[in-house]
Amino acid sequence: MDFTPDELIEKFSYDSKFLDAWLHLALECGIFEIANVSKRTLKTAPHVYTLLIDRKNMFYVGDTIGFFYYLAPLQNYVFDFFKTGYVDVSSEIPEEVIIDGHRSSARMGELVERLFSSNYKDFSKFLKKQGSILAVGCGYGFNIEKWAIKYKRAQFVGIDIDSKAVTFAKYLMKQHNWDERIEVYDIPINEYAKKTDDKFDLILLNQVLHEMNHDEDYRRGVFKDLYSLLKEDGILLVGETMIPDIFDPKKERQLFDIMHKFFEAGFARFYDKKSFEDFVGSTPFTKAEFIKKGGEYFWAVKK
């Protein structure tokens, strides 16, 4: 869409003193392009739409970058995390920020799915025809949505303990007319494991483990329940940021890891590769394979 600087001033109440410098910078950076020199009109560069706006595009990074911007004004709050080690995320962080965080997690889930389907071709083919998938900590349902689009014939169950998120996830599934094949429940894993006899081919634990109660015994209990919910030849897919030492210089991209690092004060507890393997070794599961390509990775945990 074309726009003139005057339109920007009027619509967004920008100060004309700074606008020229700002627009110049945006042109230099390739965010805007000149649309019409004689009329002093600009337009957004096409790649900006691809990168920041078009959620369906495979190069889309808008949610993750947007989440960083959301966090910027909350920096005092983040410093408080570090100082006090305490944070009550639910009451302090606006819901729109939490929703964007979930969208960002789902983006990780989408990348993990790509890696999963290229590493487990037969399993992925099977799931395209049939099968069942349980998403534990499904949140607002954005990750289920991505997987359900890819695995159109699989049955899904999503569970979470955040009732607001579950209400939204149910609404999202309804929008897709997926009532027949996707159920979402507001229920803790131990209660769900008790109440169902269903066993799943695939269990997704995407960006959830670090948020769970930090107590190792609690987490072991969760993995026991996951074990009982998984079929004998099923896979528990753990999509989780592995944070060994964020300050150790790496050549790989670390955007998501860095974003997560501050969560460690008070709110989240992550593993590195070794401690995750040790953790899985203390549960009924017998195998944890680290699947990695470039900056993407996940754990395939098996019985």
Ligand X SMILES: C[S@@+](CC[C@H](N)C(=O)[O-])C[C@H]1O[C@@H](n2cnc3c(N)ncnc32)[C@H](O)[C@@H]1O
Residue range at the interface with ligand X (CB under 6 A); choices 7-15, 52-60, 67-75, 202-210: 202-210
Phi, psi values for residue 277, rounded to 5°: -60, -45
| Residue labelled with tokens 């910078």 | 25
Using CB under 6 A as the binding rule, whether residue 160 contacts ligand X is answered as yes
Distances (CA, A) of 213 to 210, 216, 229, 282: 8, 8, 20, 17
Paired with 32 in beta bridges are 44
Structure tokens at 130: 């049939």
Strand stretches in the chain, DSSP E: 2-3, 32-36, 41-44, 132-136, 155-160, 182-186, 200-206, 230-239, 287-293, 296-302
Residue range at the interface with ligand X (CB under 6 A); choices 1-9, 25-33, 42-50, 207-215: 207-215
| Residue labelled with tokens 């209990």 | 221
Residue range at the interface with ligand X (CB under 6 A); choices 34-42, 81-89, 126-134, 201-209: 201-209
Using CB under 6 A as the binding rule, whether residue 241 contacts ligand X is answered as no
Binding test (CB under 6 A) with ligand X, winner from 23, 61, 74, 212: 212
| DSSP, residue by residue, 47-68 | HHIIIII-TTSTT--HHHHHHH
Q: Are strands 200-206 and 132-136 parallel, antiparallel or unpaired?
A: parallel
Binding test (CB under 6 A) with ligand X, winner from 132, 143, 155, 241: 143
Using CB under 6 A as the binding rule, whether residue 115 contacts ligand X is answered as no
Residue range at the interface with ligand X (CB under 6 A); choices 26-34, 53-61, 97-105, 223-231: 97-105
Residue range at the interface with ligand X (CB under 6 A); choices 23-31, 73-81, 194-202, 205-213: 205-213
| Residue labelled with tokens 């998120």 | 165
Using CB under 6 A as the binding rule, whether residue 93 contacts ligand X is answered as no
Pick between residue 219 and residue 280 the one whose CB is nearest to ligand X. 219
Using CB under 6 A as the binding rule, whether residue 162 contacts ligand X is answered as yes
Using CB under 6 A as the binding rule, whether residue 131 contacts ligand X is answered as no
Paired with 185 in beta bridges are 159
Strand stretches in 51-147, DSSP E: 132-136
Using CB under 6 A as the binding rule, whether residue 5 contacts ligand X is answered as no
Pick between residue 32 and residue 297 the one whose CB is nearest to ligand X. 297
Q: Which residues 6+ apart lie within 8 Å of 195 measured at CB? A: 187
Using CB under 6 A as the binding rule, whether residue 296 contacts ligand X is answered as no
Residues of this chain that bind ligand X (CB under 6 A): 101-102, 105-106, 109, 136-139, 142-143, 160-162, 165, 188-189, 206-208, 211-212
